Every structure is written in C-alpha cells, then in structure tokens.
A = this chain, B = another copy of it.
Amino acid sequence: MPEEKKISMAVIRRLPRYFRYLHDLIKMDIKRISSRELSERMGITASQIRQDLNCFGGFGQQGYGYNVESLFNEISRILGVDNRFSCIIIGAGNMGTALANYENFRNRGFDIIAIFDVDPRKIGGTVNGIEIMSMDSLEDFVKEHKVDIAMLTVPNTHVTEVAEKVTSLGIKGIWNFSPHELRLGNGAIIENVHLSDSLMVLGYRLRSAGY
C-alpha cells in the first residue's frame, strides 16, 4: 500500500471521525479550518490532530490551516472511500436485515451484493433489493464474484464454522457481529462489533457514576 510508516491502530480508529467531522464542515460550507478550531469541535487536542494527519502527509499550510475540502479528500483517499468493496451478509436475521437496509455503507465504498441464509423460507426473497441465497450456493457465488468482506450475523453456535468457510473460499475481511472471538489461522482481517460488550460497558459506567 502507498503509505510507508506503520500507522498505529489508535490513529486508524480516529480516521473515520475526522472523515465525519470534515464532511459536516463541508455541508456547513466552511472552507478552511485550523487544527485548533477542529480540536474544539471534536474535543481532542490540536496537537493530536496535527500528529495524526502528519502520519499521512503535510496537508496543511503554515499560517493558514487546512483547506477543508482538500483535507476531506485526503482522508477519503486514505480510508479508501472511493474503493469499492464487495460484501456479502451471512445470516438474514434481524441484524443482517438491518445491515442490508443501511444505505450509508454504499456511500462509504461498501456494496452488499448478496445475503446468505439456511432458512428455506427466506431463501429466494430479497431485502432492500438484495437477494437472499442458500448457504449451499455460497461457494459457487464466491467463485463467480469477487467478495472482499463477509458480514457475519449468524448465531454464535455457527460463527466459527461460517468464518472458517468464508475465509477458506478466499474472503479476506470478516465483520463479526457475534460475541465470539474469532481466531483464524489464515491472514483474514477481522473487525468485531461486540454489541453486548458495549452495552455492559455502558452499564458499568452508569453504576460507577452512581446512577
């Protein structure tokens, strides 16, 4: 990949936030912004913003600040928003359906091209115009279409098996919605959404705030 130095995960996880804030600035028709102004909006230090951005290049101008539009374009490029990632959803339950209906993903470079399930009553149907296919046809489908990401919204009991299946078919990205930790031998990249972890942290914080 174009970027040279090793970027820390702490920085990477902040990139989408920059993306969002810059997008908002554009919508507000703001043309330039200094690291100080942005830091006040985002609630982080100006130093951190400058450090973060300079991981990728010098996008600002001394005495001026940053041009909002060009900075937004840089962040977009870094995040690969203009890339197209082909995604499939595995599990057409409530969460899978919610994801299939989430229009935002497409604007971020993620196309959901099929949904897979084992339930014969669901197979053949569509969600948001996307066909629900049988798990039996997964292998053929992946052979015919380049698939970058599998979004796993299957029951916990099956997630390891499904994850092994999809990675064995060459899919490199796993977006895992099960609480299970996936430990895959191959080079798959796994990003977890642990909803109950998040909720439990909220519970902890509420209790320790005394509520």
Of the stretches A62-70, A136-144, A187-195, the one at the interface is: A187-195
Chain multiplicity (copies): 2
Give the B-binding residues of A (Cβ under 8 A): 1, 3, 7, 12-13, 15-17, 19-20, 42-43, 78-81, 83, 85, 93-95, 97-99, 101-102, 104-105, 108-110, 148-149, 172-173, 175, 179, 181, 183, 187, 189, 191, 193-211
A-B contact pairs, 19 of them (CB 8 A): A1-B208, A1-B210, A7-B208, A12-B204, A13-B197, A16-B196, A19-B200, A79-B200, A83-B207, A99-B195, A148-B211, A172-B211, A173-B206, A173-B211, A175-B202, A189-B202, A189-B205, A189-B209, A191-B202
Specify which of B104, B191, B204 is in contact with A198 (CB 8 Å cutoff): B191
Residue of B nearest to A211 (CB): B172
